[in-house]
Amino acid sequence: MDTQWRIETRGDPIGAVRNFIGDIWEKGDLNGMMVPLNVDSFDSTAPSLINKPELLEHVNPFKPVMTVNAANLIPAFLERDPGARIGVILRPCELRALTEMTKHGKLSMDQIITICVDCLGTLPLEDYQWRAKHKGSGERLTQEALQFARQGGILSYRYRSACQMCTAPEARGADLNLNVLGLPVRQCILIQTIDAATAERFDLGSITDGAADLELVDQHERVLFKLSQRHNHTMQRLFDTLADYLPADVEALVEQLNECGDCQSCMDVCPICSIARPIRAEDGHYTRLDVMRWLVSCSACGMCEQVCPNHLPLSATFGYIREQLLLEFGYAPGRSVDDPLPLI
C-alpha cells in the first residue's frame, strides 16, 4: 500500500486536518488525544488531553506559539490512564524529544499514535498574544501563516531564535506526518505514513483523496531543502555573531553552568532532562559526561532559552555544542528509535 496520500482542503486546510484527525481517532479506536487547542483566552497555549472527538473542532496544530515541549507532558498523561491508547499531535522538535525519551526507557510508544505536523515556526509568547489579539484570534493568525506555507513560511525574523535556526521543521518519522510546507494548502495537503502497514491500519485509502501526486511530493522536498539551508545559514551567522559569548566546548559550557548557581530553570523545562538530567556533585559542579549525555539528545526546541533568567542565548549555545557532539559521535537526536544512543 502507498505511504504518501493527498487530502483536498477546499479552501480550509485547518478544517481538513481536523476531519482527518477525527477519522484517525475513529479508525485507531483511540481513548483520547493530546492536542493544541484554540481556546478563547489568548494566553492558553499548552496542549491538552481530550477524550471527546467533538472537541477536535477546536484543534489547531499549526498555531504559531509553543510554550512547552509537549513530549514532556506525555508520561503524566499515560500514567493517569495506563491502559489508554492515545494519539499525540507534535511538532518536529517535540517528536524528536519523544523519540529520545523512548530510547532512554522513559516511556513506551506502544500506547501512542504519533501525528507530526510540518512546522511553520513559532513566535515568542508575548508576540503571539499581541498578534492574535490584533488579528482577532489565534486561528486567524494561523490562517495567515498558512497562506505562506507554499513559500516555506513568513516572519522568520520574528520567530523564536530556535525556530529561525531550525534545520528540520518537517514532519517525518511519526506514524502519520502532515505536510504543508511547499504546498498549495488551500487546495491540498499531503500525508505520509511511517510505513505501508500504518497506511493500511488507518485505511488511508478511504479517508484521504487518494495517492499523493509525485510532483507535489517533489515540490514539498525542494522547499524543505531550501528552508533547511536558510535556517542553517542563520544558525552559522548567529554562531559568528555570538562567537565571543558562546562556550568554546563542552568543558567551557560545564564551567558556565557551574556559575549559574542554584538555577536549573533550563533543565526543569527540558524534555531531555526528564531522562538525562545532569546531576551536581557535592562540590556543586556538573560533570562533562552528564552534560554530553544531555545535549547529545537535545531536540533543539529552544524551551530552555525561553525561561533562562539571565537571558542567555541558549538555543545558539546548545546548538553550537550539539554540532560538536554530532561531529564526535555522528548521532542525530530524534532521527529514529532504532539508532543506538552514543552515551549510556
Q: Which parts of this chain interact with ligand SF4 (CB under 6 A)?
A: 66, 91-93, 97, 119, 121-122, 162-163, 166, 169, 257, 260, 263-266, 269-272, 298-304, 308-310, 312, 314, 318
Q: Which is nearer to ligand SF4, 35 or 272 (CB)?
A: 272
Q: Specify the 3-state DSSP secondary structure of 91.
A: coil
Cβ closest to ligand SF4, residue 49 vs residue 163: 163
Find the shortest distance in angstroms from Cβ 77 to ligand SF4: 19
Question: Could you tell me the smallest distance in angstroms from the CB atom of residue 180 to ligand SF4?
Answer: 12
Nearer to ligand SF4, 3 or 264 (CB): 264
**Choice between 263 and 343, CB closer to ligand SF4:** 263
Cell of 45: 497555549
Largest separation between any pair of C-alpha atoms in the chain: 62
Reduced to 3 states, what is the DSSP secondary structure of residue 189? strand
Residue 83 Cβ vs ligand SF4, minimum distance, rounded to whole Å: 29
Outline where 157-248 has alpha helix (H): 161-164, 196-201, 204-207, 214-241
**Other residues' Cβ atoms within 10 Å of the Cβ of residue 249:** 12
| Closer to ligand SF4 by Cβ: residue 122 or 179 | 122
Q: Are 64 and 145 in contact (CB under 8 A)?
A: yes
Identify the bridge partners of residue 179 per DSSP, sorted by sequence position.
190
174 versus 300: smaller Cβ distance to ligand SF4: 300
The residue among 35 and 97 lying less far from ligand SF4, judged by its C-beta, is 97
To ligand SF4, the closest distance from the beta carbon of 231 in angstroms equals 8
Minimum distance from residue 182 beta carbon to ligand SF4 (Å)? 15
* Residue 303: CB minimum distance to ligand SF4, A: 4
- Least separation, in Å, of the C-beta of 155 and ligand SF4? 12
Nearer to ligand SF4, 86 or 119 (CB): 119
Minimum CB separation from ligand SF4 for residue 32, in Å?
A: 23
Q: Which residue has the cell 506559539?
A: 65
CA distance 144 to 187: 15
Kindly report the backbone phi and psi dihedral angles of residue 13, in degrees, each rounded to the nearest multiple of 5, phi listed first. Answer: -60, -35
H/E stretch holding 117: strand 112-117
Report the distance separating Cα 190 and Cα 212, nearest Å: 7
Q: Is 129:45 a contact under the CB 8 Å cutoff? A: no
- Asked if residue 207 lies in contact with residue 16, where contact means CB atoms within 8 angstroms, the answer is no
| C-alpha span between 100 and 324 (Å, rounded) | 19
